[in-house]
Structure 1
Amino acid sequence: MHQPARPVSAAVALGGCDLGVVSAVAEFYRAGLFPTVVFTGGSTAATRGRFPRGEAVHFREEALALGMPKEAIMLEPRATNTGQNIDFARDMLEDAGVEVRSVLLVCMPYMQRRAYATCRRRWPQVEPVCASQTVAFDEYAKARDDEAEFIAMMVGDTHRVMEYPHRGFAIPQEVPEQVRESFERLRERGYDAWLLRD
């Protein structure tokens, strides 16, 4: 979304299959952009093999290995979708007495629009800023274990950006025609494993 990372009240690191999220969190923390981060994410079909104890648990361990102090980290290990990531992290911060006016959503690069739209729907009182590790698309794609799976996950994420507003899960966003056409071409070519099912 090309939103420059900036100082915020707190950060929320959304679970997923990419430890690059944790590298970005550690970098932003060292830059003094937030005092507290919530790592949120349980075990899902997409990540169970890689993170058997849950996304947030593995992310927290990686953050500690990167030198983040444990006092700066909150762990939310139950969420299994982006709406729950936002809801459960919000509730944890509120229960801890953290006043949140702005939040840095740190996620996989291709997930930023969905994270933003979900936060605006589920937590409208805060100003969300989305950020990810800084990496070129080609480099990011080459680092994935399975390129076809990676493309299918991006197609699935785009499907959610388009469909979730109709289901009340996110605010609507403009999706350029070129993106819609690319989505249809990729779906027709069989990259449909992570599409929404009725």
Structure 2
Amino acid sequence: MRNEPKRCGWCEGDPLYEAYHDNEWGVPIYDDATLFEFLILETFQAGLSWITVLRKRENFRTAFDNFNYNSIAKYNEEKINQLLHNKGIIRNKLKINATVSNAKAFLKIRDDFGTFSKYIWSFVNGKPIINSYNNYKEAPANTELSDKISADLKKRGFKFVGSTVVYAHMQATGMVNDHEVSCFRHEEVKKKVK
């Protein structure tokens, strides 16, 4: 058996989870397209496990026009009905409708702030919050900051963006570094700050 690096406990044992953890989770993202992709995926994850969504990620990419917010904002009833019959994704009508309305709200934020990235990163002054957890179970499900961001997103018309979903989005997109301190990615991710 080869010598595996020390990873966060939540991803160990599943190759897909490990690859996601090793290459994406916690890396600061400033690109609107990728931020929107994670927003969609986190929306569909609400109430489910992340691995369920991760396993369907490529199906979501195909079904939702490569996560193109401009296209998704224009989806009509016919397109929504197609999605409801797509067995490759999570077929939840409320979440599919929320994805369309969230794309519209996303575009409005881009109009108001120039980019969604400027808007969302302004909550942490453009720099990730570096936490120091010994065990991933120490990380909170939500924080006062995720409460604040959630409330602001809802005020701007977003749906399925409760504080827990927002905190998961912050973790995924590197707004917070919640890698365990013993994880090989904790230090690597810290170096990826813009």
Which category describes the TM-score, using the shorter chain as reference length? Answer: under 0.3
TM-score, normalised to structure 2, is: 0.25
**Which structure shows the higher strand fraction?**
1
Q: What's the TM-score once normalised by structure 1's chain length?
A: 0.25
Larger RCO (CA within 8 A; separation ≥ 6): 2
Instruction: Answer 1 or 2: which has greater helix percent.
Output: 2
